[in-house]
Structure 1
């Protein structure tokens, strides 16, 4: 079974590395998510452990697990993530997320946090984790067997930090990696979640549904970074973009339909009905809409891809084919040819609404290979991707400077 077979993750990561992609990203939920009757769990068994296995089978690609700040202590986080960073020779990242789901808190025997507590803990966890990473400085040196010295303890010191929610004495017991410390990613947030994005994030993995929404989110994140004393260039904004590829549009749609055959069509048709403003007959899901239906279509203003669904229906696609275009997906994307995929990425990138993309394949078995073999060469010919990696570490790939410890620009506020 692919879900429990780490070789599947290794093979996908190797394919992505062959295409020069910057990192592989493993989201996470710390509770059973979804109905397992017809499909495996939506999230991996345990991102840190799987990516440690991947680290030993790859050499260049970055490794980014999601790990919650709500349940993990800073010392454990600092130690585990630095170990991954050292094992991979400076390729680790950390998607730092505060949990919010009642099921997750129940699994840890904790009540849901009240008011500001979720973000208070996030601030403390990230600051203490980074301080621990900085507790073993480069000045401690490298082991010198001839001199009989492993490290200079004058540069390995406790941090002795105590917050309201978490604390740590330190120092950490693992030296820095080639990039210093892992790259911190965070998801887009609003209200109370904006300040930590501006203070700590090196990368934002976002879920805008449109180019304009992406532009707005990116600008908000940049303003938050500037308010924290950093610069807009300190953060890479990399939204999710999904793909299903085929030699033709029809082939790509048919492939997507096969992948979706095991999913109940009825609730998807009901959702598409809302998007189109029309009642859809399940018995006629393979037929284009009648002229009278098309004339009455109205996009749903609260559903971002509703206008796209209406446009596809007006072009004569059947409801099943409209769904196969990916209009129900939780992220923007394209089901079509490699050239069309490259066009979409180029359009977003050249519009300045993002700094790159987090690619969402529609099938882990072969979609990464198709993207690497068919889309990446087009992007390279257009000058949108380098011919090879620009360095050895994740910070090199993203054009970020080395960091060790808390960003000194934030020290006055920590």
Structure 2
């Protein structure tokens, strides 16, 4: 990549904080709060630290239910994301606020209203990560029978289209509020969407006006082919899991090619895969930190989690041996979040190594001194395979400050990362245009 290309591109960094941290041993780490998943104080501190580092956004995942046993590891997030982000909006001024909400077990009008409200409260800093939800434990909270994959994604496409139509139901100049004339709103500029679809019937319009950025940035997250298609069609940013440069390049190429087929620019989507970080003063300190965290984690829990991801029995795996060849061969067609793990298993890595390299969800892991972590980020960015990363600190309480205070300044000195925000909205951070809602036709019917 030429230097001129680099000047035109800008590295984007988001942070995905979860409870005590992304390492399974984080909740037992000195100084960490074992009950962080159910307390707001830690999230507010994360927001302040992340904004100090001039990060683009805070990204909160969500699962609406107790989706796994928590006998040896806490929930990643317990509080509802838009409630956390609203509180964060009050203690910050610039950083973006992205929350997850399921299209499988929600109603489009409620989600459109909730995220529009967050966008207005934060003055144009909101983003919605639109995901589908699967798994019997969660589905059982809402329906008697879990919908199949085809139904989930068909519903998701219609759901996203309805939300976008609702966000576009107000023209930017609809709210007049003219005290002298007495005209409060121009109802010709506020239109119903009159959506009648396979899954939803929504009249509209929405009950709130646009924000400074028009409407929230639309995220999608995942590694399935359906997620790629949904992202290429409607997404503006993507959080995914990749384990190496080749995987990232392949993922990016697929999404860009499909975006073009849908009539969008190839760079319409900001590609921000996860990066698990363990930062030390030196490489030796970082490796020692990682070793201590590994000792605090219950390896049996990690082994059970890996087996569940791969559709295998935990009793068939041994930590310090590769996945048995006969079982590894059965992983060729594994999809979704388990695919990065399957690739490592097929390459002959031990179960312990797969767990360690996977970093919780098959993400890249950067362990080292600040310069080494910066090297990883810069090398991926200059290779043109990512627009940035979604940071996943091993331990939230000290891992994020270590990144902000020691890695970010290196990236800034190298001219890779901004030294200050260039705007006030999330769209400005990501270099995304404000949507022209005045000329947009309802999208849900087109999908």
TM-score strictly above 0.5: yes
3-state SS of paired residue (1:274)? coil
CA contact (8 A) 2:61 2:77 kept: yes
- Matches of residues 350-389 of structure 1 in structure 2 within 5 Å? 350-389=382-421
Misfit runs of 4+, over 6 Å = 305-310, 322-325
2:295 is the counterpart of 1:255: no
CA contact (8 A) 1:85 1:92 kept: yes
Figure out how many residues of one structure are paired with residues of the other and give that number.
Answer: 384
Which position in structure 2 is the counterpart of 1:290? none
Distance in 2 (alpha carbons) for counterparts of 1:353 and 1:188: 17
CA contact (8 A) 2:220 2:227 kept: no
Structure 1 counterpart of 2:51, from 8, 13, 17: 17
- Matches of residues 181-196 of structure 1 in structure 2 within 5 Å? 181-196=215-230
Shift in CA distance, 331/179, structure 1 to aligned 2, threshold 3 Å: same
Distance in 1 (alpha carbons) for counterparts of 2:441 and 2:263: 6
Q: How far has the Cα of 1:404 moved from its partner?
A: 5.4
Which position in structure 1 is the counterpart of 2:151? 117
Q: How far has the Cα of 1:193 moved from its partner?
A: 3.8
Structure 1 counterpart of 2:344, from 294, 304, 307: 304
Shift in CA distance, 407/388, structure 1 to aligned 2, threshold 3 Å: farther
Residue by residue over 1:142-186, the C-alpha shift from the partner in whole angstroms, topping out at 9 and shown as x without a partner, is 422333332211211211111110121111111100000011111
Looking at CA atoms only, which structure, 1 or 2, has the larger radius of gyration? 1
Distance in 2 (alpha carbons) for counterparts of 1:203 and 1:407: 23
Shift in CA distance, 188/218, structure 1 to aligned 2, threshold 3 Å: farther
Which position in structure 2 is the counterpart of 1:347? 379
3-state SS of paired residue (1:222)? helix
2:314 is the counterpart of 1:274: no
Shift in CA distance, 34/103, structure 1 to aligned 2, threshold 3 Å: closer
Gaps of at least 5 residues in structure 1 are: 279-299, 311-318
Distance in 2 (alpha carbons) for counterparts of 1:391 and 1:408: 25
3-state SS of paired residue (1:365)? helix
CA contact (8 A) 1:10 1:53 kept: yes
Residue by residue over 1:267-322, the C-alpha shift from the partner in whole angstroms, topping out at 9 and shown as x without a partner, is 668665234999xxxxxxxxxxxxxxxxxxxxx99543897978xxxxxxxx99x7
> Taking structure 1 as the reference length, what is the TM-score of the superposition?
0.85
3-state SS of paired residue (2:247)? helix
3-state SS of paired residue (2:321)? helix
CA contact (8 A) 1:20 1:61 kept: yes
Which position in structure 1 is the counterpart of 2:162? 128
Distance in 2 (alpha carbons) for counterparts of 1:106 and 1:325: 32
Q: How far has the Cα of 1:124 moved from its partner?
A: 1.1
Structure 1 counterpart of 2:363, from 320, 331, 339: 331
Shift in CA distance, 408/225, structure 1 to aligned 2, threshold 3 Å: farther
Q: How far has the Cα of 1:352 moved from its partner?
A: 0.8
3-state SS of paired residue (1:64)? strand
Q: How far has the Cα of 1:257 moved from its partner?
A: 3.2
Determine which structure has greater relative contact order: mean sequence separation of CA pairs < 8 Å that are 6+ residues apart, divided by chain length: 2
Q: How far has the Cα of 1:35 moved from its partner?
A: 3.2
> Taking structure 2 as the reference length, what is the TM-score of the superposition?
0.79
Which position in structure 2 is the counterpart of 1:221? 255
Structure 2 counterpart of 1:55, from 67, 89, 99: 89
Q: How far has the Cα of 1:5 moved from its partner?
A: 1.6
